[in-house]
Structure 1
Amino acid sequence: MTTQPQLPRAVAPREMAPQLQRAGMLDRVEERLRRLLNDEHRRWRTSDTRGAGLVESLAELVAVGVDRVRPVILLSGYLAAGGDPEAPEPVDAAAALELLDTCTLIRGDVRDNAALRRGIPTLHVSRAAEHERNGWAGEARRFGESTATLAGDLALSLADRLASRLPATAWQLWDELRVERAVGTYAHEAMAAEYLDDPWPGQCISGCDRGCTAGWYALRHPMRLGAALAERPDLDAAYDSYARSLHAAWRLRGFLDGGPEYDWDAELLREILLEREERGIAERLIRDLVDRASTTAAASPLATGWCEELESFAVRMASEKR
Structure 2
Amino acid sequence: MATPFQLSDPAVPELLRARMLDRVEERLRGLLAAEHSATRGADPRAVTPIRALADQVTAGGERTRATLLLTGYLAAGGSPADAQVIDLAAALELLDTCHLIRGDVRENVPLRRGIPTPHVGHAAEHERNGWRGESRRFGEATATLAGDLAVAYADRLVAGLGGEARAVWDQLRIARVLGAHAEAATRTEYLDDPWPLGCLEGCTPGCAAGWYAVREPLLLGAALAGRPDLTDEYRDYAGRLHAAWRLRGFLDSGAASDWHARMLCEILLGREEKDRTEDLIMRLVNEADRALAEAPLRSGWHRELVSLAGRLVLAGAW
Q: TM-score, normalised by structure 1?
A: 0.93
Moved over 3 A (4+): 12-16, 209-213
Map of 1:93 onto structure 2: 88
Structure 1 gap segments, 5+ residues each: 1-11
Distance 2:235 2:208 in 1: 15
Please list the CA deviations of residues 124-176 of structure 1 after superposition, one character each: whole Å capped at 9, or x if unmatched.
Answer: 11101111111100011110011000000001110111111212321111110
Alignment of 1:69-108 (within 5 A): 69-108=64-103
Letter in 1 for 2:154: A
Distance 2:301 2:210 in 1: 21
Structure 2 gap segments, 5+ residues each: none
CA separation of 1:32 and 1:201: change in aligned 2, threshold 3 A: same
Letter in 1 for 2:308: F
Matched-pair contact (CA < 8 Å) for 1:180–1:211? no
Please list the CA deviations of residues 84-111 of structure 1 after superposition, one character each: whole Å capped at 9, or x if unmatched.
Answer: 0010111011000000011001001111
Give 1:57 shift: 1.8
Aligned counterpart for 1:52 among listed residues 39, 47, 51? 47
Aligned counterpart for 1:290 among listed residues 266, 269, 285? 285
Which is greater in Rg? 1
Letter in 1 for 2:232: A
Cα-Cα RMSD: 1.6
Q: What is the DSSP-based 3-state SS (H/G/I as helix, E as strand, rest coil) of the residue aligned with 1:169?
A: helix
Give 1:203 shift: 1.0
Distance 2:159 2:165 in 1: 10
Count of residues paired in the alignment: 310
Letter in 1 for 2:163: A
Map of 1:28 onto structure 2: 23
Distance 2:97 2:125 in 1: 21
Letter in 1 for 2:281: I
Asked whether 1:279 is paired with 2:274, we answer yes
Asked whether 1:172 is paired with 2:167, we answer yes
Q: TM-score, normalised by structure 2?
A: 0.94
Matched-pair contact (CA < 8 Å) for 2:182–2:205? no
Distance 2:173 2:6 in 1: 41
Matched-pair contact (CA < 8 Å) for 2:285–2:309? yes
Letter in 2 for 1:188: E
Matched-pair contact (CA < 8 Å) for 1:257–1:320? no
Map of 1:225 onto structure 2: 220
Matched-pair contact (CA < 8 Å) for 1:181–1:211? no
CA separation of 1:211 and 1:198: change in aligned 2, threshold 3 A: closer
